[in-house]
Amino acid sequence: MNGFGSSVGDWLIVVRAIHFAATAMIAGILIFRIGVAEPALRSARQAAQIFDMKALRIVWICLLVSVASGIAWILLQAPAISGLSFEEAMGSGVIGTVVTETQFGQVSEIRLVLAIVLAACLVSDRLAGTRWLGLVSALGLVGSIAWTGHAGSTAGELGILHLIADTLHVVAAGAWIGGLASLALLLVVTLRRQADGWTWLVHDATRRFSTLGIVSVATLLMSGIANAGILVGSLHALLVTDYGRLLIVKITLFVVMLALAATNRFWLTPALADSSDIGRERGAVRWLARTCTIELALGLVIFAVVGALGTIHPANHL
């Protein structure tokens, strides 16, 4: 192999991480938009318009990144599956085989159709029903990632359980990570405007997102335990295998995110309701924006870890 061929595995990790992050952000932002921003900003039309414009801009960027990284993933999967170098795989027709004759390729085709449907919904966003169709397409786009990894290759009834758990896991991750990005955006808009009454709107949005976050975290925990039980199997395997140790890194990052989320929920969010102290309100908004940004950064690191986990053998296979 040449220099590029020998690094296909590394590029595959990077591309997978970028694809997971971009796709999850799309779903999370659209969930936040319908479930949090619209009801919280119903009485602030201008604020809703500003948030909507900026949020959709991010969704478009993430969709373009998702499609581009998805294509790159297919190109890199060909040498990974065939054992050929990248150049050899490109010139031997392996890509056609991967796309048409493997589960990964067939799922990728379905996901491309979902991305096209989502793009059409974003173009016609003002039409009735397209927002919900766009959300369903986004959920399908992120949820179908489960069929491209270890869950998609688990056989029998255990495989069905694994697919359900992994689908719930990636959707919940998207709701949390994309929601964090959306909340940070809403907070930034609030800080820039400094309009009267906006802290109450932020308090309402933060409270609603807190509920979404609790549901997401609970789903992540339950589905994560199920996935770990299937892929790791024992505490010994968790500690002595590369897969297990990398999973420990993921769990550690998740715990740190939980600690920051608890700070937001039990300390900063109540401060937004303290109308007697404007300085405290604005300080709480600033700190919320910072902690959301830190949580989001940690979440993106987790996606990098997940990108690596999908390229190595599960602990229970060793």
Q: Is the pLDDT of residue 195 over 70?
A: no
So what's the pLDDT on residue 125? 87
Number of domain units in the chain: 1
Query: Which whole number is the average pLDDT over 155-163?
Result: 86
Instruction: Report the C-alpha gap between 7 and 283 in whole angstroms.
Output: 46
For residue 62, give the nearest of 92, 93, 18 by alpha carbon. 18
Q: Residue 217: exposed, middle, or buried by beta-carbon count in 10 A (0-12, 13-18, 19+)?
A: middle
* AA letter at 166: D
Of 307, 23, 21, 62, the residue nearest 142 (C-alpha): 23
Q: What CATH number did the domain enclosing 182 receive? A: 1.20.1630
State the pLDDT confidence band at 271, using cuts at 50, 70 and 90: low
pLDDT of residue 139: 97
Give the domain extent around 205.
Answer: 3-317
**How high is the pLDDT of residue 318?**
56
pLDDT score, position 4: 44
